[in-house]
Structure 1
Amino acid sequence: MKKIQDANLENKKVLLRVDFNVALKNGRIKEKFKIEACKETVKFLLEKNCQVALISHLGRPEGKINPEFSLRQITDDVESILGLKVRFISDCISEEIRNNLENLSDGEIILLENVRFYEGDEDNDIEFSKKLAKGFDIFVNDAFSASHRDHASVSGVAKLIPSFAGLRLQKEIHEMERVKNDFARPAVAIIGGAKIETKLPVIKFFEEKYDNILVGGKIANEALDQKKEFSEKVILPFDFIDDRLDIGPKTLEKFKEIISNAKTIVWNGPTGKFEDEKYAVSSNEIMKAVLNSGAYTVVGGGETLEILEKNNATDRIDFVSTGGGAMLDYLGGGEMPGIEVLSEPLIITD
């Protein structure tokens, strides 16, 4: 995989794929973590005198311009978090981008409009990829959390101009490999949230490698309803609160006992309907048990991150991944087009 440390970056125009798909409230971001994640890479590029434009998606505008999903509204927050002057451009493929790249001041970067305002992004349309790449010398992917998507702004552009992994992407891959192949025992995975079909591969992966897999949330209910069969390593809830909206006290105690003995923990997804405080008990108690365990801990997924941030606990976790679905796909052996393309040769176009 090609890394930015090995690239000739001096004075280059760089399109940097980030993931600013963050929760908003009244036009302001609810959590800083995904914005902060790209800070090291941006700093590295600016030190090489690069002209940098950030490109991201926000929400699901479904290929149409929708002010509700405009990145314009987070420009001030991005400026504040990165500590840089940010110039917003209300498109991601216009000639205006090229003109603005030529006259950036020192320490100033560009934030482009939501790439998913165009259908060509999710369709990975090559003509759209060419428009994104136009005027740039180099593409850098720093968005691990989007790298399981075969989209124009993730893998499409990377086939057209020299492309490299950013520092955050490299760090994410290193940590995923560590919890896959180089972990201390007892090793425990905590898997919650919804959509059993997306989380089944990663449960199966951990079932083969780890000592215990603790399953909660909606996926536990779905597994029970569908009578999914697992080995004794996989522990499903055996008591519940209020129509299975949270795991019950006996299950919680069992989970906490296992967590207390762990040396490695991977946690992705809440174990109850955590957005309702009444059913956030198990998720909060599990968080405390994880913090008290002393285990090497990797956490991923937006909802899990929300639990940590609400309790000011993010800094107490060894590694917090920006990826939810991407983390599950990577660990479960799924395809990661945004990473795989960084080891491939460029394609020749007219």
Structure 2
Amino acid sequence: MHSLHADSPVHELTLSSSLVPNFLPARVPLVLLLTSTLPFCCADIMQFHAALLAGFAVGSSALMTGPTAMRASRIQHSRIATIEMAKKSVGDLTEKDLKGKRVLVRCDLNVPLDGKTITDDTRIRASIPTVEYLCSKGAKVLLSSHLGRPKSGPEDKFSLVPVAPRLSELLGKEVIMAPDCIGEGVKACVDKMKDGDVLLLENTRFYKEEEKNVPEFAEKLAANADMFVNDAFGTAHRAHGSTEGVTKYLSPSVAGFLLQKELDYLDGAVSEPKRPFAAIVGGSKVSSKIGVIESLMAKVDKIVIGGGMVFTFLKARGLETGSSLVEDDQLELASKLEKMAKEKGITFILPTDVVVADKFAADAATQIVSVESIPEGWMGLDNGPASTAEIQKELADCKTIIWNGPMGVFEFEAFSKGTFAIADTLAELTGKGCTTIIGGGDSVAAVEKAGLAEKMSHISTGGGASLELLEGKVLPGVAALQEA
């Protein structure tokens, strides 16, 4: 196992929320550079606070004078701490706020269907806590979602009609299916609703204006409601009519319990982690994870690289990689990322042995080889046992671990051991108090296939949304919500 260690630690600074005045503009990130050579002292923090109270946006050295400016000028390896303003949650709304009110809830009910049969109701079940809470407070609940990718208006195979009966079963009450998501038919249904009733609107993507975030469509969608709850983290990275547009017409617009949990883990736990903090980043291509790796390097103590992207890093070191997947146009970047890790004092872990195959197939011939002796014509498809053991050793003392992307082609049994071993390790560490976050995508599928989803601290429901949040990007569906 190849590991790089630092000679000097990186100093962390956590600012109390009392230091952040609540009159600052919403969604403007405040950026404070933290030096790895000299820690900020109390006087620095007080000066920083004074600048905030003066109404300045931090990000200019003009805010710093004296010793603070000297420290800023001497930064060698800086980390950027972004102070996110908290969002108001549905749990902040009382019965007085909700009773008799029409609440539009954006859920993620985009479930897989076999004809009219739901094959996986995970997303439906995930929406239940928010809906139950609203019903218990006497709200009239209007559920909004998309399903699939209809191309030209309403298509029967993309209708949400099959979802209504399952919602009814889980809620223990009848869920009425609306004929549309906007228009007079919906208004007629809403007018008949009693406190605590639930109405499921039809697929928002039956209208092309949904994905284009056309204001007129968003206004019509909001017309039958008094307030808005976004509980669809999986679409929060999209500025669509039902996620971002409606917030311009409904107030308050708040986060649902599921969305809030995602933010608490993917943003909160990652921004202020218990340490040591490790990231496991897998997947086939470096190019698809550049943003995630760079962003996590500003926060982690250890980073494990796995999956197909390993071979781009190995080739960047000058090693032969056989017929393994390599992005030749990313070799320079791979070298820079490894160098960056060394400079930041991050333990950087690449496999030292791999399982190689003579073809990409479940029945391929396999062998375990050192990364320094991959045979010509053979491709690496999983971590070897020595690499897995070393990764497990490095993770043993960690208090926070985030995992995004598998270690190998786990869909084929011959190349699944590395991925499932990591899943087993994380499940075991969770039981010992480690916070384990499965950050979306194929790593979620792997954990679920291993039957270990319930043993992790958090399984993210978002694919692209998880990646973008980990990259530090602003999610339009979250940014549009009311500040706490």
TM-score of the alignment, normalized to the shorter chain, above 0.5: yes
SS of 1:57's partner is: coil
Asked if the contact 2:140/2:193 (under 8 Å) is kept, the reply is yes
More displaced stretch, 307-316 vs 125-134: 307-316
What is the TM-score of this pair, normalised by structure 2?
0.65
In the alignment, which residue of structure 1 is the partner of 2:239?
150
Gaps of 5+ in 1: 345-350
* Post-superposition offset of 1:126: 0.9
- After superposition, the Cα gap between the structure-2 partners of 1:9 and 1:63, relative to the gap in structure 1 and judged at 3 Å, is farther
Aligned partner of 1:306 among 445, 454, 473: 445
Asked if the contact 1:84/1:107 (under 8 Å) is kept, the reply is no
SS of 1:153's partner is: coil
**1:56-95 residue pairs with structure 2 within 5 A?**
56-62=145-151, 64-95=153-184
Question: Percent identical across equivalent pairs?
Answer: 37
Matched, 1:324 2:463: yes
Asked if the contact 2:423/2:450 (under 8 Å) is kept, the reply is no
* Post-superposition offset of 1:269: 2.4
CA distance in 2, matches of 1:220, 1:94: 52
In the alignment, which residue of structure 2 is the partner of 1:174?
264
SS of 1:333's partner is: coil
* Post-superposition offset of 1:130: 1.3
- After superposition, the Cα gap between the structure-2 partners of 1:258 and 1:341, relative to the gap in structure 1 and judged at 3 Å, is same
Asked if the contact 1:36/1:82 (under 8 Å) is kept, the reply is no
* Post-superposition offset of 1:240: 3.7
The one-letter amino acid paired with 2:387 is T
More displaced stretch, 332-341 vs 59-68: 59-68
What do the CA deviations read for 1:88-112 (whole angstroms, capped 9, x no partner)? Answer: 2242113221211232467542222
What do the CA deviations read for 1:192-242 (whole angstroms, capped 9, x no partner)? Answer: 235544422121122221122222234445665321222253434442432
SS of 2:265's partner is: helix
CA distance in 2, matches of 1:160, 1:54: 17
The one-letter amino acid paired with 2:220 is K
Asked if the contact 2:408/2:418 (under 8 Å) is kept, the reply is yes
* Post-superposition offset of 1:27: 4.1
Matched, 1:248 2:384: yes
More displaced stretch, 43-52 vs 166-175: 166-175
The one-letter amino acid paired with 1:79 is S
Matched, 1:266 2:402: yes
Asked if the contact 1:52/1:101 (under 8 Å) is kept, the reply is no
* Post-superposition offset of 1:266: 0.8
In the alignment, which residue of structure 2 is the partner of 1:21?
110
SS of 2:123's partner is: helix
SS of 2:289's partner is: helix
CA distance in 2, matches of 1:199, 1:220: 12
Matched, 1:208 2:310: no
In the alignment, which residue of structure 2 is the partner of 1:347?
none
In the alignment, which residue of structure 1 is the partner of 2:89?
3
The one-letter amino acid paired with 1:16 is V
Larger Rg: 2
Asked if the contact 2:178/2:201 (under 8 Å) is kept, the reply is yes
CA distance in 2, matches of 1:128, 1:268: 35
The one-letter amino acid paired with 1:73 is P
* Post-superposition offset of 1:337: 0.8
SS of 1:301's partner is: coil
Q: Which has the higher contact order (CA 8 A, sep 6+)?
A: 1
What do the CA deviations read for 1:278-335 (whole angstroms, capped 9, x no partner)? Answer: 3332221110011112321111314333333333322211122222221221122112
Runs (4+) off by over 6 Å: none
* Post-superposition offset of 1:137: 1.1
SS of 1:164's partner is: strand
In the alignment, which residue of structure 1 is the partner of 2:215?
126
More displaced stretch, 195-204 vs 256-265: 195-204
Gaps of 5+ in 2: 1-86, 314-325, 358-378
What is the TM-score of this pair, normalised by structure 1?
0.88
More displaced stretch, 307-316 vs 101-110: 101-110
Higher helix share: 1
CA-based RMSD: 2.4
The one-letter amino acid paired with 1:131 is K
* Post-superposition offset of 1:141: 0.6
